Structure formats: structure tokens, C-alpha cells
């Protein structure tokens, strides 16, 4: 496996923002039947038998698309050039979960999309075991929450306390922070994620690729040194000379002076970091294989996504740098589900929306009802979260599979 350090030494030189590129028409999606997709969590891929059974059960239940998680926490459920395999694949040197899934799925006529967790890179409770993992190679490129900004700005990222502080903060705020994130502003991070995507595009017979966690974890991120310095360099040329001189004298004592003094610009800057990444990857994928569908799991609440996670997915659709949005409208409220899917459909048309349904929050009846709502609004398909939940739970009658119950009521 090619180690992470091979790319980090040149990342800044390679990364070229393309946010100023003109808007483009998205790649036309092929005319096809309704997309009936399942999100498949990576644990199902760890064992060849469970992966094979997943494909069989999905086909039997009437699904035609599998969105399989191949990058969970900065690791690889495939033969990666850039990232280490997870502990779950220890000793399985001859097993490539993604290759096996693609082979089994295509044999049954199912499409396979690689699901890539983008900025989320590690769990806070159990840090990675492999010394080649991102968090150990480049702790200086991890996202920092504002409450730790002053403490960590001048700290040595190689000091174990640095990583420990980030993990402790994430654990204490697990209600809205899922773990350790990379800094979206770091050019080396963008280049690394781009390389992960292109590796998959060039080496696997995929039908599409799928962003997840392509956002900031919360409004109080990212105050890492690299993010603050890049914001300063982005902002200062736009300031009058008198303002610039005044702030240059303050910054050494307060590294947050620019982000605190120009909050609207700080928000725009953070939003731009995510959009630049999406755009660069989109063009990179299409240059190599125009037929691949590039999709993203996005916050169902579009305003919250924009203002608090800096994920401007409506703009991505309008500008044609995303083929399909999958709003994660996870709720047992039919009306709230309807509102969130309608927003997406009205943004760019139903052909570019696959409605994300939280089956884990719903009974079979609720899931089937939401499938009907998505169809009524003109969405091109549905994605159910998740196969793993549905495979473990019963349908409407004792002993009935949740998957088959949905098939019988929604996919006759």
C-alpha cells in the first residue's frame, strides 16, 4: 500500500481551486427505471459471505442500486493506494470487499456506487490502530473546534495531548460532533481526498460515487491554525490598507481576530472550502469517466446545511457540479419528509433527487408511505438507510423480513 506521506509533501502544489470555473450543465443521467437504492454500511462488507448475502437479499427485495460504504473513518474497504485497511479486514489479504460486491451485484443486474465519508476521519472513542492513519500522519490537518483554538494554535500537533484534546472534545459533544474531522481548508486535505476518489474511479468498475460528511461538523469548526491562516490570506487582500495595518498588529496576540471580526466572510470562506472540493472532484471524475454518477448525502434541512454545516448543496445542483442530491430526510413525520424533499426537487428538478428515507426511524408502513411521497413529488428515486437495519428487523408480521415487506408494498 502506498503510504499517506507520499502525497502530503506535494499537496499544496497540486491543489488548484476551481471555484471560479463557469457553471456547467450536469452530465445527463441515463433514462432508466426508478432508482431503488440502499445505503450499505461498511460492516456488511467485512465478510465475503455477508457481502454476498447482502447483494442477493437486495436483488430479491427489488432494489437496483447499492451505495456501499468503502471509506468509513479514513480507512479503505478496498485495495487503496492511499489509506490503510480497517481492523475488520485484518488477515483477509486476498479479499477485496468492493471488487467482490461489484462482481456479485453486476451479475445480478444491480448498480454499485462507492460511498465515501469525506471529512469525518476517525471515531473519538476508539482512535485508529494503524500508524499510517491520517490522524497520526498529519494531526496538524485536523479540524479544531473554537473552544480549543487558542490552546492548540501554538501547540505542537505531534504532542499526544493535541490529538487527545480533539478526541475528548468530540466525546463531550457527541450530540453534534461525530468524531475527528479533517480541516476542509487545508490544501493537503483536499488533494488527499481527491486522490482517494480518483483511485476508485481508475481501478474499479463502478456505476457512481457518493459523498457523505462533505461538510463541517458544526458551526464552531474549523479553527485550526491552517484554516485561520488561510482565511487571513484570503481576506487581507480585500481590506483597505488602513484596516489591514490595524489588524496586522493584533493578530500575533489573537489568532482569531480575523474570523471574529469578519464573521460573514468567515462563513463564506468555510462554505467555499467544501464547494471547491466538490467541484474539483466532480470535474476530475467526469474527465476520466463521464458516465459515472456523482451524488451526495446531504442534510435534509437545506437552511441548516447552508448556515451551520457550510454545505451549500442547492448551489452545487444549480451550478451542475453534482449530479444527484440525496437529502437525508430521516423522520417519521410524513409532512416534514414532504417539505424537505420538495425543497430539493424545486431546486433542480426531480430527476436529480433521490429521496433519503430513514427506515430505521419508521415502521414498514411509514417507509412505504414516504416512498409514495417521493414519487408524488417527482423524485427520480429513493435511498433507504439502511440495508443493515432492514436486514435485522421484521416487517409487519412476525418472521417477515423488513426488506421483503417493503418490496411487496412499494415495489410490486
d(CA 287, CA 69): 23
Instruction: Return the number of other C-beta atoms located less than 10 Å from residue 257's C-beta.
Output: 18
CATH of the domain at 45: 3.20.20
In terms of phi and psi (left: phi > 0; alpha: psi -120 to 50; beta: otherwise), the region of 213 is left
d(CA 56, CA 61): 9
Overall residue count recorded for the chain in this entry: 412
DSSP code at position 47:
S
Residue 348: per-residue pLDDT: 87
pTM of the model: 0.92
Residue 47 lies inside a defined structural domain of this protein: yes
Residue 360 lies inside a defined structural domain of this protein: no
Q: Do 314 and 283 contact (CB within 8 A), yes or no?
A: no
Segments forming the whole domain that contains residue 229: 5-328
Domain count for the chain, please give it: 1
Residue 256 lies inside a defined structural domain of this protein: yes
Residue 50: per-residue pLDDT: 97
Residue 13: per-residue pLDDT: 38
Residue 313 lies inside a defined structural domain of this protein: yes
Residue 347 lies inside a defined structural domain of this protein: no
Extract the C-alpha cell encoding 385: 438507510
Residue 338 lies inside a defined structural domain of this protein: no
Degrees, nearest 5: CA angle 49-52-53: 85
Per-residue pLDDT of the chain (412 residues; tens, 9 = 90+): 444 444 343 333 344 454 444 455 555 555 568 999 999 999 999 999 999 999 999 999 999 999 999 999 999 999 999 999 999 998 888 999 999 999 999 999 999 999 999 999 999 999 999 999 999 999 999 999 999 999 999 999 999 999 999 999 999 999 999 999 999 999 999 999 999 999 999 999 999 999 999 999 999 999 999 999 999 999 999 999 989 988 887 777 899 999 999 999 999 999 999 999 999 999 999 999 999 999 999 999 999 999 999 999 999 999 999 999 999 999 999 999 999 999 999 998 999 999 999 999 999 999 999 999 999 999 999 999 999 999 999 777 776 799 999 999 999 8
Instruction: Return the number of other C-beta atoms located less than 10 Å from residue 156's C-beta.
Output: 11
Cβ burial, residue 328 (10 Å; 0-12/13-18/19+): buried
Residue 409: partners with Cβ closer than 8 Å, 6 or more residues away: 364, 365, 368
Amino acid at each position: 500500500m502506498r503510504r499517506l506521506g507520499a502525497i502530503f509533501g506535494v499537496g499544496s502544489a497540486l491543489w488548484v481551486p476551481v471555484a471560479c470555473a463557469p457553471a456547467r450543465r450536469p452530465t445527463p443521467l441515463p433514462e432508466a427505471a426508478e432508482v431503488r437504492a440502499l445505503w450499505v454500511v461498511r460492516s456488511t462488507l467485512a465478510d465475503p459471505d455477508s457481502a454476498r448475502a447482502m447483494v442477493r437479499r437486495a436483488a430479491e427485495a427489488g432494489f437496483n442500486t447499492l451505495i456501499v460504504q468503502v471509506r468509513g473513518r479514513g480507512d479503505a474497504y478496498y485495495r487503496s493506494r492511499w489509506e490503510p485497511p480497517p481492523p475488520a479486514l485484518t488477515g483477509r489479504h486476498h479479499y477485496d470487499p468492493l471488487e467482490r460486491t461489484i462482481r456479485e451485484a453486476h451479475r445480478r443486474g444491480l448498480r454499485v456506487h462507492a460511498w465515501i465519508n469525506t471529512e469525518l476521519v476517525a471515531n473519538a472513542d476508539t482512535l485508529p490502530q494503524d500508524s499510517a492513519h491520517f490522524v497520526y500522519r498529519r494531526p496538524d490537518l485536523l479540524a479544531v473546534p473554537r473552544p480549543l483554538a487558542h490552546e492548540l494554535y501554538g501547540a505542537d500537533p505531534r504532542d499526544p495531548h493535541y490529538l487527545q484534546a480533539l478526541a475528548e472534545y468530540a466525546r463531550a459533544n457527541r450530540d453534534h460532533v461525530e468524531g475527528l474531522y479533517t480541516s476542509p481548508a487545508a490544501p493537503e486535505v483536499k488533494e488527499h481526498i481527491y486522490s482517494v476518489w480518483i483511485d476508485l474511479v481508475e481501478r474499479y468498475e463502478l456505476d457512481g460515487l457518493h459523498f457523505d460528511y462533505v461538510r463541517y461538523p458544526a458551526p464552531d469548526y474549523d479553527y485550526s491554525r491552517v484554516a485561520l491562516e488561510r482565511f487571513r490570506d484570503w481576506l487581507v487582500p480585500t481590506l483597505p490598507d488602513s484596516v489591514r495595518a490595524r489588524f496586522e498588529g493584533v493578530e500575533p496576540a489573537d489568532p482569531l481576530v480575523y474570523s471574529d471580526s469578519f464573521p460573514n466572510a468567515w462563513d463564506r470562506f468555510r462554505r467555499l472550502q467544501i464547494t471547491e472540493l466538490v467541484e474539483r472532484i466532480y470535474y476530475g471524475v467526469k474527465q476520466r469517466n463521464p458516465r459515472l454518477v456523482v451524488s451526495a448525502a446531504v442534510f435534509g434541512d437545506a437552511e441548516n446545511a447552508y448556515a451551520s454545516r457550510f454545505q451549500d448543496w442547492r448551489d452545487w445542483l444549480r451550478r451542475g457540479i453534482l449530479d444527484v442530491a440525496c437529502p437525508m430526510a430521516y423522520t417519521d413525520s410524513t409532512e416534514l419528509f414532504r417539505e424537505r424533499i420538495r425543497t430539493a426537487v424545486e431546486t433542480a428538478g426531480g430527476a436529480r433527487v433521490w429521496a433519503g428515507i430513514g427506515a430505521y426511524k419508521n415502521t414498514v408502513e411509514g417507509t412505504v408511505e414516504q416512498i409514495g411521497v417521493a414519487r408524488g413529488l417527482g423524485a427520480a428515486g429513493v435511498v433507504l438507510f439502511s440495508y443493515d437495519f432492514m436486514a435485522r428487523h421484521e416487517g409487519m408480521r412476525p418472521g417477515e423480513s423488513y426488506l421483503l415487506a417493503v418490496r411487496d408494498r412499494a415495489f410490486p
